[in-house]
């Protein structure tokens, strides 16, 4: 079986299907998947060439074969899927490789952004991918998700496979030179989430060559405990005589790949530009067995774009998203004013919380649905991981399904029925679970709590949950009622740490019912950290409590050279005491992308200032700050789009309050994804951000014919034209579009962008400018259209 071979034998994937189809005459406007039906012999020939070169896998020609991308194709997506698999199977039979080669169902990105970046819901993405899988699930050996850029889409896909088949799942993501995917995922977060979901192999493909991918590959090899698959491009693309070429030779490619195989890569192949000759030389150079890798398992929790690793330093979990003892929050939940929880989450993140506890349990509330709504809203605006806090397995399951990352699940206890209800959820969705050391009640002695901790760890192991995914809560007792037992909690923690797991405590419980609670909390926290507390659940807005952690890190040699302490505690950087406000001003609303708060914030400013003053003094400075944060890597694409969408809403409200004078509106600018290219995610992102800066954007859509671009230029008289292309085959179409515009007398600047483009290619095809992302497009137009 395949699962018995991966990670042991070094297996070889095939190379680029697109490169071979282009050589065979695939045109810019052609749909590759249609060739499965129209030219089956060509597809079989390509598959056979890779098998004969030594590939152990052939990848079906189905990269874009979903109902959205294939909406305008000649055939139904299911027809093309079935024909593609048939071609691959016949090629394998004709090559005499039926016993030792595998058919990989190739699934690429859906082609639309998932929420919150776009409008496609998680459930819609799941159903689209499920249809692809169900069409051929009994005819393939493995499902390969490749060139993925959004971890949320990956999660939908992996669940679609695992809930409907027993097939192995491979996932490769495409990373940019900044070490992040388009949606901001870093390699560590990808590995943590994908491993948690139970993928059989993971890695990287496309975007860059093997040399350029070295930093990313090294990070994946250092973190992944599952087999790693590598399929780089044959270097960076170059445009010559209207065609895309890759100049890395097979020999150079293999030389780089040999190093990765020696470091423990388990599956090696190629992406754009790699031919059967690349695969032949790769197969010849590959060792028979996978080199061993020693990867230390760590306790890690992830949000959409960042991972928190438990280790030497104490991790702070914010406690304030919990209605217990909070009348305002209770009422906000009952009234479904979830934006108040979002504001509270932002305040805690800004105060230094690295994880946020989320509890919405109230009598009379639909906890599973409420938890789902709150989790989705929170992960739109905060990047820190979330801790799902509920006694309801249904609420935990719902939250885990829609959570974008690897959550902490709070919690189970020593009762078998509780563990049997929650551990399957932890295993399926890949969470880190908190185990409470109680069963029928809270044991008074440390030894009793220790025994319950051992029981939880043993039971978790039966479900395939390792110690690295368990955090034990030895339970904080109140000094006012159980003063004698407070020290038993500290003693229990020291004992539990010997089991090789991390620990958590709700710190403030110790002071309940006593005066000057902050003093008791700080003192107990210090004692608990010395006893081995890793995750205190506290109020991060309490500066003295947070300062206690900083001081502990200095005194216990965890903050080397006191760098964090100095940064946080110096008089120049100590922040004012946070207010208890439940809403933000307009500037903060835009920076955090709080769409539910924008109308009230705009109207408040309009009551104080003229509309143009609101734009120039509030909105534009906020947008500039967002742009700087994006360019410096402080925020990522999801947050950028949230801010842009919020700003668009603000502009619409302002427009209703005054008539724009002639010349005040920026633009218009014309945008299009060029003929033959059905990918318009990048263009749509640029459009949203430009509109947030006040530009009027005339969007011609995707796969736009050359003559339609020329006609639109005559009709709208834009001040600039933006062209987008994602496929190497359509760069030539972009060049012809520019030539046609110039031949028609168009003198306005043309800027281009897309994953396959570089500044050199842009110059070669006659474009005036190249931009790598949305903010670069804004900066360009702000400069050239003044």
- Annotated binding-site positions for Zn(2+): 206, 271-272
Q: Does residue 410 contact residue 434 with C-beta atoms inside 8 Å?
A: yes
* No. of helices (H) and no. of strands (E), the chain: 32, 25
Q: Is 137 helix (H, G, I), strand (E, B) or coil?
A: coil
198 phi-psi bin (left φ>0, alpha ψ -120 to 50, beta other)? left
**CA atoms of 128 and 147, how far apart (whole Å):** 17
Instruction: List CB contacts of 243: < 8 A, sequence separation 6 or more.
Output: 22, 732
Q: Are 664 and 703 in contact (CB under 8 A)?
A: no
Contact 75, 65 (CB under 8 A): no
The answer to whether the bond into 357 is cis (omega within 30° of 0) is no
Measure Cα distances from 64 to 46, 157, 763 in Å. Answer: 18, 14, 29
Token digits of residue 221: 């090899």
Angle between helices 637-655 and 774-784 (to 10 degrees): 50
Q: Is 234 exposed, middle or buried (0-12, 13-18, 19+ CB in 10 A)?
A: buried
Element (H, E) at 734: helix 731-743
**Residue 503 to residues 366, 473, 539, 726, Cα–Cα distance (Å):** 31, 6, 18, 47
Residue in 112, 23, 117, 12 with CA at minimum distance from that of residue 57:
12
Provide φ and ψ at 617, rounded to 5°.
-100, -20
Phi, psi of 62 (to 5 degrees): -135, 25
Residues comprising the binding site? Answer: 206, 271-272
Q: Residue 121 phi/psi, 5° resolution?
A: -80, 160
């Amino acid at each position: 079986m395949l699962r018995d071979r991966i990670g042991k034998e070094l297996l070889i994937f095939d190379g680029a299907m697109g490169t071979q189809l282009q050589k065979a005459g695939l045109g810019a406007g052609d749909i590759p998947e249609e060739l499965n039906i129209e030219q089956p012999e060509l597809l079989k020939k390509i598959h056979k060439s890779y098998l004969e070169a030594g590939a152990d896998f052939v990848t079906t020609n189905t990269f874009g074969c979903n109902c959205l991308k294939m909406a305008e194709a000649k055939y139904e997506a299911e027809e093309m899927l079935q024909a593609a698999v048939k071609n691959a199977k016949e090629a394998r039979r004709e090559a005499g490789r039926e016993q030792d080669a595998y058919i990989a169902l190739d699934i690429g990105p859906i082609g639309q952004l998932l929420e919150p970046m776009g409008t496609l819901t998680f459930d819609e993405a799941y159903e689209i991918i499920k249809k692809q899988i169900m069409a051929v699930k009994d005819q393939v050996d493995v499902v390969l998700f490749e060139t993925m850029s959004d971890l949320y889409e990956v999660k939908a896909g992996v669940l679609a496979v695992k809930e409907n088949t027993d097939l192995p799942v491979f996932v490769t993501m495409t990373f940019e030179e900044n070490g992040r995917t388009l949606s901001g995922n870093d390699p560590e977060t990808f590995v943590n989430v994908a491993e948690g979901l139970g993928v059989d192999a993971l890695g990287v493909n496309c975007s860059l060559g093997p040399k350029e991918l070295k930093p990313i590959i090294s990070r994946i090899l250092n973190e992944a405990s599952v087999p790693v698959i590598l399929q780089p491009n044959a270097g960076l693309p170059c445009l010559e005589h209207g065609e895309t070429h890759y100049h890395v030779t097979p020999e150079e490619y293999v030389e780089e790949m040999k190093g990765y195989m020696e470091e423990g890569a388990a599956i090696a192949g190629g992406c754009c530009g790699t031919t059967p000759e690349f695969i032949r030389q790769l197969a010849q150079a590959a060792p028979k067995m996978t080199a061993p890798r020693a990867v230390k398992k760590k306790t890690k929790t992830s949000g959409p774009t960042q991972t928190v690793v438990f280790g030497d330093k104490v991790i702070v979990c914010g406690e304030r998203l919990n209605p217990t003892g909070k009348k305002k929050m209770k009422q906000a939940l009952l009234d479904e004013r979830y934006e108040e929880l979002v504001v509270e989450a932002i305040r805690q993140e800004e105060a230094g919380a690295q994880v946020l506890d989320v509890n919405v349990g109230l009598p009379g509330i639909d906890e599973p649905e409420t938890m789902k709504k709150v989790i989705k809203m929170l992960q739109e605006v905060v990047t820190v991981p979330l801790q799902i806090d509920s006694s309801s397995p249904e609420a935990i399951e719902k939250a885990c399904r829609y959570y974008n990352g690897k959550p902490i699940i709070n919690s189970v206890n020593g009762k078998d029925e509780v563990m049997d209800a929650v551990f399957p959820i932890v295993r399926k969705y890949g969470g880190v679970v908190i185990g409470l050391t109680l069963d029928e009640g809270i044991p008074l002695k440390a030894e009793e709590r220790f025994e319950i901790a051992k029981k939880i760890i043993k039971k978790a192991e039966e479900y395939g949950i390792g110690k690295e995914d368990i955090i034990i809560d030895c339970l904080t007792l109140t000094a006012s009622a159980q003063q004698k037992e407070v020290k038993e909690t500290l003693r229990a923690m020291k004992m539990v740490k010997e089991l090789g797991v991390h620990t958590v405590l709700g710190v403030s419980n110790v002071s309940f019912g006593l005066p000057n609670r902050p003093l008791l909390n700080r003192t107990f926290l210090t004692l608990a950290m010395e006893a081995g507390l890793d995750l205190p659940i506290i109020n991060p807005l309490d500066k003295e409590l947070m300062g206690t952690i900083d001081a502990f890190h200095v005194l216990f040699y965890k903050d080397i050279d006191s760098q964090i302490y100095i940064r946080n505690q110096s008089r120049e950087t100590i922040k004012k005491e946070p207010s208890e406000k439940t809403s933000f001003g307009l500037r903060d609303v835009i920076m955090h992308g709080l769409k539910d708060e924008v109308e009230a914030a705009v109207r408040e400013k309009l009551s104080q200032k003229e509309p143009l003053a609101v734009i120039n003094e509030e909105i534009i400075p906020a947008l500039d700050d967002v742009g700087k944060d994006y360019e410096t890597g402080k925020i990522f694409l999801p947050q950028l789009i949230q801010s842009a969408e919020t700003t668009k809403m603000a502009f619409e409200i302002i427009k209703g309050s005054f008539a724009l004078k002639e010349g005040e509106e920026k633009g218009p600018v014309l945008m299009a994804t060029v003929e033959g290219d059905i990918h318009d995610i990048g263009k749509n992102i640029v459009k949203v951000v430009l509109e947030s800066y006040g530009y009027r954007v005339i969007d011609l859509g995707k796969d736009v014919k050359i003559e339609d671009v020329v006609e639109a230029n005559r009709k709208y008289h834009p001040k600039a034209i933006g062209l987008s292309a994602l496929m190497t085959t359509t760069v030539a179409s972009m060049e012809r579009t520019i030539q046609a515009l110039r031949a028609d007398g168009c003198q306005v600047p043309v800027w281009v962008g897309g994953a396959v483009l570089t500044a050199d290619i842009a110059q070669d095809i006659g474009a005036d400018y190249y931009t790598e992302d949305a903010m670069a497009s804004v900066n360009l137009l702000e400069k050239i259209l003044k």
